[in-house]
Amino acid sequence: MKNVAVLISGRGSNLKALIDAEQDAYRIALVVSNVEDAGGLAIARDAGIATFALAHKGYARADFDDIVDEHLRAHAIEAVALAGYMRILSPGFVARWSGRMINIHPSLLPLHKGLHTHERAIAAGDAEAGCSVHLVTAGLDEGPVLAQARVPILPNDSADTLAARVLVEEHRLYPRALADLVRTL
């Protein structure tokens, strides 16, 4: 059983999926947010999970990440799952968690890195969309892909309808990918 921290910035539906799927491979010991009123913090508290929330404004990126890192170490965290954490991480933080930090991204990487993935998949005329779990490395959304799930893009899809279809798959994929990673640590 590995202690995992989940880093969030928003509503936390992937956090909820990770909590609901918790089995013998990992235990979510800490939820961190850079947004003090992120909806996902309430999900964590309801589940009895420790939280640390601090607005990043006013901090140099590396200083903020050092504070987060202190909390991860205080909770004996062994792996980190980014779940809608909308902050670019400092190189030092990425290096410290190399091989032990994953992210879920709502596209079929290497397609559509960055933001507005669903709009871009539709605009590109892609036949399929999906989500990817990847190891976090220095380049944004560039680390090795560990797992993917695919959905069709339908003729009348908007970014919202496509996002909803992909999100269902995110919630299935992420717990499995996290469990697989921690078993290798």
Query: With CB under 6 A as the contact rule, which of the stretches 5-13, 122-130, 144-152, 154-162 interacts with ligand GAR?
Result: 5-13
Bridge partners of 33, per DSSP, are 8, 53
Question: Nearer to ligand GAR by C-beta: 76 or 129?
Answer: 129
Q: Quick one: residue 27, left, alpha or beta (phi over 0 = left, psi -120 to 50 = alpha)? A: beta
14 binds ligand GAR (CB under 6 A): yes
Which residue from 51, 81, 170, 173 is in contact with ligand GAR, where contact means CB under 6 A?
170
The one catalytic residue in 71, 75, 105, 116 is 105
Tell me the two tokens of residue 73: 């170490």
Question: Nearer to ligand GAR by C-beta: 49 or 83?
Answer: 83
130 binds ligand GAR (CB under 6 A): no
11 binds ligand GAR (CB under 6 A): yes
Q: Within 10 Å of residue 165's Cβ, how many Cβ atoms?
A: 17
d(CA 183, CA 185): 6
Question: Nearer to ligand GAR by C-beta: 10 or 99?
Answer: 10
Give CA separation, 8 vs 111, 120, 127, 153, in Å: 23, 23, 30, 27
> Residues in the site for ligand GAR, rule: CB under 6 A?
8, 10-14, 40, 83-84, 104-106, 167, 170
